[in-house]
Every structure is written in structure tokens, then in C-alpha cells.
Amino acid sequence: MEKMSLLYPGEKPPVYRELPALTAHDLSLDLLAETLSDEKTETAVIYHYLTHLCEDEAVARYRNEIFEDILQFPEIREKMQEVLQKIDFLRQFGSFQKITDASGVWDLVHRMGEMEEYILSVEAIYETLSKTPIRSEGLSHLRDYTKSLYEESGFSALKKDITELKKDTSQIKSVTLGVNLNDRFEPNSVGIVSVNSKYYTKSSVISHFNDFLSGSDKQSFTYDPSRSEQFDASAQAPDFLPGIPLTSLAMLGREDRGNDVIRSMDRAMAHMIGKIVRKLKSVISRHVNVSTGVITGMIPEFMYYIRFAEYIEKMKEAGFSFCTPKTYPSEERMLQTEGLYNLKLANEIRLHPGDRTAKDVIGNTLDFSKEHRIYILTGANRGGKTTFTQAVGLAFVLAQGGISVPAQSFSYSPVDNIFTHYPADENETMDLGRLGEETKRFRELYQSATKKSLLLLNESFSTTSYEEGYYIARDVVRALKYLGVRTIYNTHMHKLANEIDVLNREETAEDMAASLVSRSREGNRSYRIILAPPEGLSYAKDIAVKYGVTFEQLREKK
């Protein structure tokens, strides 16, 4: 297997569309990523995943199932973090992947510990996922992959061999060499006779004669590489073996002699554990490089899910509810949600509650369908219109990212992209003016959007006079109906919302517009968004009554 991901099924990545930078900013996705992690590397990964949307409902469903498993079973989070960090460390700093055919046996023996750690890590992944009643396709696939990796790579047998090899190598005390002679009894080659678990004491051939000798006449054939005089160029064979010079050893310098001994020991080890060495090299070349790449490639993906799971647990402890989104084909362009609230606002309350709690956050209902494809949202200033508009965009990002949604229920068709149109900063409108910049930006936005997109307009075209803004906004709504794109247009233009019936009648498009209102009574904001005609003058009257500026109230005060 060349690739396996926890972000999409199969080996081939899906098509992603990156959110516009303005959309990511307007939805505060950078702040959300920073809330989840203090590590800049992790924050960057989370932000990247959030800002790359895939409209394939199978991808969203695949992610949702994985996240539910990770959220439901904390033991998976704990164990996977531990194991994956270990494997990643071996991948980055270990040496077992760097073994080549030229590597000596001692190199392989030295790296046996790393190989054993890797095998134990693969075991731990399989055991963790096996003993947990996971339901997701992605984690089940990972469980089966580690099982097949362990069995097909011979890891079980290899682990036993490594244990035996480590035990055997720790018992090596000496090596017996054999010397081949030519016709003149000169040595012309040296070979390994045996590898011994005991220290050398005396030769077996002349042991009795060697025992007979005493004092300075006694000959010793032990080798100490730190003493060069033992292989001096003038050294000759002992008197009891006349005519057998050790010329091949005498010609070696100190360093060469040390290297020669090491090479001899390498050959000795190869002789003793040749089959194990060949098996190890085969496993490494065929499996380890690939499998470590597959597993470590999922580290940032696991981190993404784990950080969100940790965060949502904290939010739930603070009293906020979340739901698993239900995904429908993108062609349906639908949304049905109840109890939807703004995650950013909820997080602020969690961190800085004051006299506010989760009960003070108002959840709202929204339905995108053919009859309600475009919403004109009106209501009081600071009545929650912008907060609600942002909440809808955040919910789609989370749902398509595989994360639980801040709502009681959330059924939706994935969008191919999200576009926001918020008032421009004055510093960015020097050349065209604010209205010119807004209209130019909307034209570019409209050209990029499709009927599968989501548009969030916040007080668009409000930087000019009411009549001029209304004239532009009316044509914009007609164009949005023609496109059939899911839209929330948050505006103070009550006249635009009042003419929805007229707009719906004059257009031939099937997709209809509807009016949403941020409800208030007697000037008190409820932050409740409902499907209703605009309040318009009735709200202004409520405000006037609340602050005592009606004609009757002012006259009474005089």
C-alpha cells in the first residue's frame, strides 16, 4: 500500500477547493486553529485542513465516522499519540531505514533495538484498535493494515529472531581463526573456525606442549590490538614451529590491523547469523520504508482529530451541545439544522464567562431548500445577525472537515466553496472608493461561485445612500436567485426584504428567496432568528418607546 489517509477513503486524494483568504478571515478560522493548539506547526496543519473543502459527501461521511470514534474513545487518542510519536522519531532520527547491502553485520546488530521498537509500535496500534469497538471505515482499515503488515512482513518471527540474536551477540566472548598455508607453509588466507561463548585460554593443538613450557618460554597467541609489538615485522613463528612466518599479519599497520580484526569479526557474525541478517535486510527493504511512510503520514491527520476531540470535550463540560452532521449529496443543495449557534461566541463565553453561561447562547433553526434558497436577514443592530451569519459558515466548515457541529441537529449537502462579502477596510478602498471596491469584489465572487457554493453577505452595499444601495442589492438578489446558490444576505435594507414576494414572482428561476428576522421585542434583543417578514418600522417604534423618544413621551417630559 502506497498511501492511506484518515481524511479520505482510498489511495487517491479527492479534489479540494481552498477557501478565499477573506472567507477564512471573516469566519475567524485562524483564531479557531490557535484555540485548538499552542504549537505553531499543529496550528498550521489544522488551519490548512479547515480551509481546504471537498464537496464529496463520501469524504465528509468518512471523516465524521473517524472523528466520532476518536471522540468517543479517549484511549485511542492517548495510545495513538504515544505510538505515533515513537514511530515518527524512528523515522526521522533512526537508522534502520538507512541500511544498505554494504552495511556491516555490526551495523545491523546495533540497529536491532530500533527495529524491535518499530515492531512493538505496530503491535500497539493493532491491539489498541482491536480492543476498541470502533465503527469507522478509516480506523478499521488502519487496524487491518497493521495486522496484515505484521503478519505478511514476518514481524512475529522477526521479533523472536531479534530476541535470540540480541541474546547470542551478548554471549560472544571469542573467535577462533583458521590459517591456510601455501606450499612453503606461508599463510595466504585467514578464515573463521568458530564463534565462542567463552574467552580464549589456549590453543587446542599444542595445548599439552604449551602447558609444559614455563616462564618466559611460554608462548601466548592472544591478540591485543593496542600492542603493536605483538605483530612486529620481525616476528617469527615460535621455535616449536620453525619456518612458519606470520607475514600476512606482520605487514599490517596498527590501524589496518584493527580494521582487519573488525572485518574478521563482521565475517564471524555473518557466519553465525547469516539467515537472520538476510531476513532483516529483506524486511527493511520491502516493508519498513513503505509502512513507516504510510503510518507517519497519518500523524498530522490524527493530531487534527485529537485536538478537536479534546476541544469539544471541554466545550461539552461547559454545557454546550454538539451533534454529528448527516451528509446528503451535494446536488441537493440542502440544509436543515436546529439549535445552531456560533462556536466562536460560545468559546468566548467558556473562556470569559462573567455572568454568562451556555444557557445564554441562543440556538436557531435554518432550512435551505428550493423555497428558501436565499435569505434576506434583517433586524436590530447588534441583534445577532452577523453572529448568526458567521455561525452558518463555521458549521459548514466543521461538518465538511469531519468535526461535530455546534447544534442540536445538522443535515446538509456539502458546498464546493464558501464566499463572504463583508464591508471593506477603508485602507483597501483608496482607488475605487468603498462602494466601487464592494461592487468589484462581488462581481469577482459571483463569477467564482456555483450553485453548490455558500454565500454570506454582511451589510453589503451599505456604504452609500440607502436608495443607491437598495438599487444594487435588488439586482444582486435577482442574480443570486438565477444562480440558485445558498445565500444569507444580512442587511439593514428592510425595503429589500419587503419586496421578496415581488422578486420571487418576476424571476423564472425555481429557487426562491425568503425573509429572516433577528427577533426583538420592546427594544430587547433576543438573538432569535426566525422566518418572518421584516419588522421594519415596528422595531424602530420599539426602540423609540424603550428610550422615551416618541412624541408623546417627549411632550410629557416637558
Q: Quick: pLDDT tens for 40-79.
A: 999 999 999 999 999 999 999 999 999 999 999 999 999 9
Span 257-298, pLDDT tens digits: 445 555 655 565 555 555 555 655 665 555 555 466 677 788
Mean pLDDT of the chain: 79
Reference 357, options 382, 322, 320, 311; nearest CA is: 320
Residue 420 to residue 440: CA distance in whole angstroms: 14
pLDDT bracket for residue 424 (50, 70, 90): low
Residue 254's pLDDT band, with cuts at 50, 70 and 90, is very low
Q: Is 174 exposed, middle or buried (0-12, 13-18, 19+ CB in 10 A)?
A: middle
Q: How confident is the model at residue 396 (pLDDT cuts 50, 70, 90)?
A: very high
Q: What was the pLDDT predicted at 110?
A: 61
CATH superfamily name and code, 318-557: P-loop containing nucleotide triphosphate hydrolases (3.40.50.300)
Backbone angles phi, psi at 486, to 5 degrees: -65, 125
Asked whether residue 370 carries a pLDDT value surpassing 90, the answer given is yes
| pLDDT exceeds cutoff 70 at 117 | yes
What is the per-residue pLDDT across 498-512, written as a single tens digit (0 to 9) for each? Answer: 999 999 987 667 899
Does residue 243 register a pLDDT over 90?
Answer: no
Looking at per-residue pLDDT, the higher value among 200 and 144 belongs to 144
How far is 45 from 297, CA to CA, in rounded Å?
Answer: 13
Q: Kindly state the cell numbers that stand for 175.
A: 573467535
Dist. CA 281–CA 291, nearest whole Å: 15
CA distance 138 to 126: 13
Q: Which of 72-86, 131-145, 256-270, 538-552 shows the lowest mean pLDDT across its residues?
A: 256-270
Confidence tier at 106 by pLDDT (50, 70, 90): low
Burial bucket for residue 557 (CB in 10 Å: 0-12, 13-18, 19+): exposed
Give the residue-averaged pLDDT of 436-447. Answer: 90
pLDDT score, position 389: 96
Confidence of residue 547 (pLDDT cuts 50, 70, 90): low
Query: Please, is 242 exposed, middle or buried when counting C-beta atoms within 10 Å of its C-beta (0-12, 13-18, 19+)?
Result: exposed
Q: Which of 514, 492, 517 is nearest to 501 (CA)?
A: 514
Let me know: does 219 contact 202? Beta carbons within 8 Å: no
Return phi, psi of residue 140, to 5°: -65, -40
> H-type helices in 136-206, by residue range?
137-152, 155-171
Predicted confidence (pLDDT) at residue 177 exceeds the cutoff of 90: no
Beta partners for residue 174, in sequence order: 196
Pick the most confident of 90-104, 237-251, 308-322, 345-359: 308-322
pLDDT of residue 351 exceeding 80 = yes
* Confidence band, pLDDT 50/70/90 cuts, at residue 150: confident
CB-count exposure of residue 104 (10 Å: 0-12, 13-18, 19+): middle
Q: Is 260 helix (H, G, I), strand (E, B) or coil?
A: helix
User: Do you know the residue count of the chain?
Assistant: 558
Would you list the domain boundaries of the chain? 17-170+275-303, 174-268, 318-557
Looking at residue 337, its pLDDT comes to 98
φ, ψ dihedrals at 226, nearest 5°: -80, -10
CA distances from 254 to 123, 188, 225, 228 (A): 47, 20, 7, 6
Would you tell me how many other CB atoms lie within 10 Å of the CB of residue 305? Answer: 26
Q: For residue 254, how many C-alpha atoms fall within 13 Å in the half-sphere facing its CB? A: 6
Q: Given the DSSP bridges, would you call strands 335-340 and 364-368 parallel, antiparallel or unpaired?
A: antiparallel
Tracing cell 478565499 back to the chain, one arrives at 20
Answer yes or no: pTM beyond 0.85: no
Of 403, 395, 476, 380, which is closest to residue 435 (Cα–Cα)? 476
